[in-house]
Amino acid sequence: MPRLPAASDDERALVAVTATVRADDGVARVRLTDAYVRALERAGLIPIVLPPFTGSESEVAAAVGRVLDAVDGLVLTGGEDVEPARYGAAPSQHLGRTNPARDQTEIAAVFAARQRLLPTLAICRGIQVLNVALGGTLIQDITSERPAALIHDPDAARDTRTHPIQLVANSRAARALGATTLLVNSVHHQAIDRAAEGLVITATAPDGTIEGVETREDDAWWILGVQWHPEEFVRHGGAPDHGLFAALAKAIQRAGVATP
Ligand code: MN
């Protein structure tokens, strides 16, 4: 019989990646866009799916806490609209599909990540749910609430760069991308309205739409949040967006070194 090692000597960091539940051939299935998994693998990380849990708030928080105890970082992924009640708003008629179990799980994940100082990368819905969890608000529908805004949900392939953003020089995002301007893809009809306390706005579109937030350098909790979808460029060699995943991997490495 072949001898198997008692424990793996693989030293790659584990990252919890949030997911949704969606009907597929009439069957409810946990789903996550494959590009997130590939982009994290490319950065040398091992992604683990964190599905929407159900139960009371304390049960969900306990379950999420167990998962986050076992990982080194968190990625909040794209998806449904956050329930407006979560930020004290009545639903707009332009509100899209919501997923209360996912809201509950991901908000618990934000708190658990903060408690554990787990480096956190937030993408699209991720930046929105992160902002709501920390006390900020959202624009429920850009087109109806900001008629002068650019088109942020064009009819284009997910990896088509459709609008520019401006980044704050020397911000975490600008350093990760190696640029202070970037043409990005845009697959969202919601955006951050009021940014939560503790989050610094580091990227905006020309119409003022918030496209990136992060924590301050002196904040012990590393956060990088973007409104676009950097994972969609995983197969585009040389895309600056790879730098965001590399930045997460580096932050995890640094956090590991700092831990006694
Ligand atoms: Mn956009």
In the prediction, which pLDDT does 258 show? 52
- Is pLDDT at 139 greater than 80 in this prediction? yes
pLDDT value, residue 132: 98
Distance in angstroms (rounded) separating the CA atoms of residues 249 and 228: 19
CB 223 within 8 A of CB 130: yes
Task: Name the pairing type of β-strands 191-192 and 200-204.
Answer: unpaired
- Closest by Cα among 84, 118, 90 to 222: 118
Q: How far apart are CA 39 and CA 206, in angstroms?
A: 27
- Check pLDDT > 90 for residue 14: yes
Rounded Cα distance between 79 and 98, Å, is 9
Three-state SS at 22: strand
CA dist., res. 24 & res. 151, Å (int) = 29
pLDDT for the residue numbered 1: 65
Catalytic residue from among 80, 106, 214, 231: 231
For 27, list phi and psi in degrees, rounded to 5.
-115, 130
> From the CA of 103, how far away is ligand 1's center (Å)?
22
Tell me what pLDDT residue 260 has.
Answer: 44
Cα 98 to Cα 93: distance, rounded to the nearest angstrom: 13
Cβ atoms within 10 Å, residue 248: 26
Q: Kindly tell me if the per-residue pLDDT of 259 is higher than 70.
A: no
Identify the pLDDT of residue 241.
98
Residue 41 bears catalytic tag: no
Q: Average of pLDDT values for 214-227?
A: 97
Beta pairing class for 120-123 and 223-226: parallel
Catalytic residue among 152, 163, 229, 242: 229
Please indicate whether residue 11 is annotated as part of the active site: no
Residues 188-200 have pLDDT tens digits of 999 999 999 999 9
Beginning with the edge strand found earlier in the chain, give each strand of the sheet holding 200-204 in spatial order: 46-50, 14-18, 73-76, 120-123, 223-226, 210-214, 200-204, 163-167, 181-184
Q: What's the gap in Å between 143 CA and the centre of ligand 1?
A: 12
- Catalytic entry in 124, 163, 188, 232: 124
Selection from 91, 22, 101, 21 nearest residue 55 by Cα: 101
CA of 153 to the centre of ligand 1 (A): 7
- Ligand 1 centroid vs 156 CA: distance in angstroms? 13
CATH number attached to the domain at 14-254: 3.40.50.880
Query: 3-state class of 198 per DSSP?
Result: coil
Q: What is the rounded average pLDDT for all residues in the chain?
A: 96
Does the active-site annotation cover 229? Answer: yes
- Residue-level pLDDT at 25: 92
What is the DSSP track for 64-131? HHHHHHT-SEEEE---SBPPGGGGT-PPPTT---B-HHHHHHHHHHHHHHHHHT--EEEETHHHHHHH
Please tell me the pTM assigned to this model.
Answer: 0.96
**pLDDT score of 11:** 87
- Res 8: pLDDT: 79
User: What is the tens place of the pLDDT at every residue in 65-110?
Assistant: 999 999 999 999 999 999 999 999 999 999 999 999 999 999 999 9
Q: Which residues surround ligand 1, an ion (CB under 5 A)?
A: 152, 186
The least confident of 5-14, 41-50, 209-218, 239-248 is: 5-14
